[in-house]
Amino acid sequence: MKSLVGQLSQYAAYHRDRRNIATHLVGIPMIVLGIEALLSRPSVTVHGLTVSVALASTVATAAFYFALDRRYGAVMAAVLGVSLWFGECVAARSTGTWLLGSGGLFLGGWVVQFVGHGFEGKKPAFVDDLVGLLIGPLFVVAEVGFALGLRSDVREAIESRVGPTHLRATRRTTVS
């Protein structure tokens, strides 16, 4: 398995435009909440204990993050725990509300993502590596941490591999 910096650098290579990163700060949480809600109703019973697919996938995903980095793993476990709680609240609603709410979050999040990739001019990272679907939420947490001045060692290691973020100026043509 790639290291934390390796995973984040590979993902960051597709996300250097700050406008794209900003859309990810909105779109990825929407997608995560939508997935947690969608997966909160289906369940399996194991030894008399009913476990939702959302809970099982949350535990597995948190374990993946912990394997990459304990500190990020702890933060991601907390974020996923809150997302799971939200998803269970949505899943407790009527079937129509559950499907519209979770589906709306999921699809709306992807629309926001693709707008961001329009700014970037690059395809999403998961097109080349499906692990990017798991790294996206970690990328959002890392970017928020970087903005707060946390884990500068990780930010510097990523930037040494893929360069700093930027804000591309839009081209303007003037008519004389």
Q: Where are the domains of the chain?
A: 4-162
Q: What are the Cα distances from residue 159, in Å, to 12, 24, 91, 101, 169? A: 9, 18, 40, 37, 20
**Of 86, 77, 72, 79, nearest to 33 (Cα)?**
86
| pLDDT tens digits for range 52-69 | 999 999 999 999 999 999
Q: How far is Cα 25 from Cα 148, in angstroms, rounded to an integer? A: 14
59, 141 in Cβ contact below 8 A? Answer: no
Q: Count CB-CB contacts under 10 A for residue 124.
A: 20
The pLDDT tens digits for 112-147 are 999 999 998 888 888 888 899 999 999 999 999 999
Q: CB of 24 within 8 A of CB of 136?
A: yes
The pTM is what?
Answer: 0.91
DSSP H or E stretch at residue 44: strand 43-46
